[in-house]
Structures are given as C-alpha cells and as structure tokens.
A and B are shown apart, each in its own frame.
Chain A
Amino acid sequence: MPWRLLKFGLKSTHDEPRFFPEAKPLKSHYDVVIIGGGGHGMACAYYLAKEHGITNVAVLEQGYIGGGNTGRNTTIVRSNYLTPEGVKFYDTSLKLFEDLADDFDLNIFYSTRGHFTLAHTDSALRTMRWRAEVNKHQGIESEVVGREEIAKAVPYMDMDCAGHAPVMGALYHAPGSVARHDAVAWGYARGAYNRGVEIHQKTRVTAIRTQGDKVVGVDTDRGQISCNKVISMVAGSTPRITSMLGLRTPIEIFPLQACVSEPVKPFMDTIVVSGSLHVYVSQSSRGEMVMGASVDPSVLHSTRSSFDFVEGLTDQMLDLFPFMSRMKVMRQWAGMSDITPDFAPIMGKTPIDGFYLDAGWGTWGFKATPVSGKTMAWTVANDKTHELIEPFRLSRFADFDLVGEKGAASVGH
C-alpha cells in the first residue's frame, strides 16, 4: 500500500532529498572520469561505487542528465536477440531491470507487456524461428506464434494489412517490457550521488590528455582534470570523443526518429514491432502511442525531425491499425544512433591504456543500460574486459570476427 504518500499529505513542507548534487566546481583529480551522464554513464558510476567501492568518480555531462539517447528512445526492454552472446548479454540486462525499482527505491514503471515481432514474408518467418530457437536454447521465453495467438493478444490489429503482405506469424517474447527511461537514469544517478560520486552537468569534454599510450587527464569547458581512467559512454557523441585520441572505429551516426500521439485511454497492453513495415509501437503509461521506425538513410549529427519520417511511419501504421487514423500525432523528436557494421555494441578496453569504450548502441542501447553499467564498472575496476562483453571488443573488426546479430537483421527485413 502506498503508505509513503501519507507522509507527503501530513507534512506542510516538501523536504525530499535531492536526486542530484548542486552544481559545484570540478576537483583537480578523480580516480575515474565517466564521459556521458545518460543511463549507461550513471549505471557505471552506480556499480563502481556500489560493487567496487570506487567513489572518487566524476560523471561529466555536456547537457543534462539523461538528455541524450536515454531520453529519446521508445523504452523497449527485451532479450530475444539472435546470437548466443547477444542473448546472454541482453538477458542479464533484463533480469537486472526487474530489480531496479527495489535497488533504487524508485518506481521506474518497469511494465512487462509481451513483445511481438511480426513476420510478413517466408524469409522473415524463418529468421523469427532462428531467433526463437537460439533464445529457447538459452532459456529465454521466446517462440514463433501463429495468427491465432497474435489475434488473442492484439485483437484490433488488421493481420491482412489492408490486403498487402499479410502477417504470417510472429516471434513472441513474453518478458518484453517497457520502462520509464528518464527514471532509470535518475535512479542510477541518485544511487551514485548518494554513494559519493560527483555529477557535473553542463560540462563538456574538449580533450583527453595522454602520455605515450596512457590516459593522464581530461580537459573540459569548466577546467582540467587529472585522472588515469576515462570511460566514454556518450553513444551518439562517441566519434567526437574517440577522434580526440585518434582512435578509429566503425561507428557512424544516423538520426533515429520517433513520435507520440495525443494521449488516449489505454487499450494496447503489448509491444508490436513489424520487421518489413519498419515500425514499432507501444502505449505509454500516460496513454500516448509511442511509435518509431528504422534509422534515417544518411549520416547526420543532429536530432532534427523530418516530415517524411512521420509520413512514412503513419502510412505503414495504418496497415496494421486502421483505427489509428482518428488519432493525432502530438510531438516528434530524434536521437543520434551510433551504428556499427554488425549491429552489436563496442565495449571494454581499447589500445589506449586507461581509456575504455561503451559505444555502438545504435537502436538497442536503452535495454542494455543495467548490464553495460555493471560490466563496464567491473572492466574499469579490474582493468580487464568482462567476459560477458568480450565478444563486443573493438578489436573484433580488425580480426574479422564480427558478432552475428547482423546475420538476422539484414535477412529478416
């Protein structure tokens, strides 16, 4: 029972503790500097402090906490990926998500809804079965379902898609969930702050200083810091940071757009994704339909919106949900997806001693927030890449040992 609310009612003042620290000057030295105050950055600081006792840490955020991709994604959490290493990684994350509210003592509205990935062609259905089989083998709840099961969960969906490329089946992933993305960043930030970590917003890193191949400090627009461990957790800004060190990566930045409808009374309890129609939709706890599609076709370092995005999305959406034509789109925005050639992240140590990378999060970063924080904290604390993220090492490209996630993606559409 929400007894907690009684206390608000009975007291006239509202003396809740701060989530984040007041703005303070930078210290001259920190043991660890985390660039990026989004979900991943805050999670890493949280686990460094909580699990490794490392608290002389500064999180440097150029904008505001959670203002990057953390606040711009469509908040889906799932683990029905294709490769064994991908499935292990995301499933660890999903299990961590389930306990975050308790860990933070903050309601992140983690709501398990079930997740349908629709297949409209034979080849798409084959890929669904491939993912289902790999998932099941690793104990993940994931199976190929036919039109009847889909109709039971989403009775209002037109499976014949206005007579064009009807839905043939879907990959159903019962643990698929959504969560309040801001709250995840706030929860981790508060947890880190309460354990002594410093959080500096409106602080932009302008250079990373090295001696030989070793990190020795960071320059910011609010002063210089000396430190021997720097972690880049900036997703869409990764190339700007890695180019400071002359570190070459395959990452390219593509805008990923999304939009919301005006709020309506909730009717959709599950998450629906269509591979070939390139759309995904779920209904937020406020009643808005949160809708997205694939990344823009060309590189751009911007979160500008485009009109042809919302035109294409709504056109495809009406094939599945004709009644949505009576709704209105209220707002559209964009994030900056750091895309990799094999649709898998780039994590762990780098050739530069003391510089660690957590990047390549494309359109799959939010769901990895807890596990990336945890494994990167372990990696930094031990200066050794955690075994769960070994397959995502930067050197895999030079070794021609790409992660197989791309295998399904390009075939599945």
Chain B
Amino acid sequence: MKLLDCADIGKRPITEFDYLGEIRIPPSDADESTWADYVFNRNGAPGVLRERWYHRPTGRWFIFERDTLTDQIIGQVDASEVRYEEPHYEIPA
C-alpha cells in the first residue's frame, strides 16, 4: 500500500487520503469551448501532475507533484503557489 510522505504528519497510508485529482484553475470570462474544456477535459497522458490529496484524519490538504506512470512523488507543493483569484463570469448580453 502506497505511503504519502507529508510535511507535519510524515508517511501515512494512501487509504487515509481522498484523491481530488489534478489542480485546475477555473478560467474567468471563458468562452463556451474554453469553459467546457476546463470542466470535462483532463491531462490524461502519463506524466507529472500537481494533485490535491486530503488527509481525512487531520483534515489537512497536501499538494504533490506525482509521476502518474511510475507513481513516484517528485515533491510537495506549497498551497500558496497554486492559489488563484476568485474567477468571474458575466452573462453574455
């Protein structure tokens, strides 16, 4: 069973985590195809993704760079690096 090596809580088994998938920033004022791409499409090819994991017992979030081919965790990313402004979207007139 895979271990996730996390700051503060050390190595915890993957079964204590919820997987929230790759970090995706919602685009502001996106046209229909850009928005549909954001909602549905994913970077599905094998490679390094920045993903969010939620550790249920502590309620803490962890962001890892993980190679989805080898399952190797390359590093942990600080939440501030992936923060984004609240998007906005005006109804087309």
Contact = CB atoms under 8 A, between A and B. Distances in A.
User: In the complex, A touching B, CB below 8 Å?
Assistant: yes
Interface of A: 238-240, 242-243, 248-253, 297-302, 304, 306-308, 338, 341, 397-400
B63 to A, nearest CB: 14
A251 B46 CA distance: 12
Interface of B: 1-2, 14-15, 18-19, 21, 32-33, 36-37, 39-46, 49, 51, 68-71
Contacts of A250: 40-42, 44
A239 B2 CA distance: 24
Contact of A301 (B37, B40, B69): B69
A300 B68 contact: yes
Contacts, number: 66
A249 B41 contact: yes
Contacts of B44: 238-239, 242-243, 249-253, 299, 338
A300 B14 CA distance: 13
4 shortest A-B CB distances, which residue pairs? A239-B44, A298-B19, A239-B45, A397-B40
Contact of A298 (B14, B41, B42, B46): B14
B52 to A, nearest CB: 11
A301 B41 contact: no
B19 A297 contact: yes
Given A249-B41, A250-B41, A301 B46 contact: yes
Given A308-B1, A398-B33, A301 B68 contact: yes
A300 B71 contact: yes
A243 B45 contact: yes
Contacts of A248: 37, 41
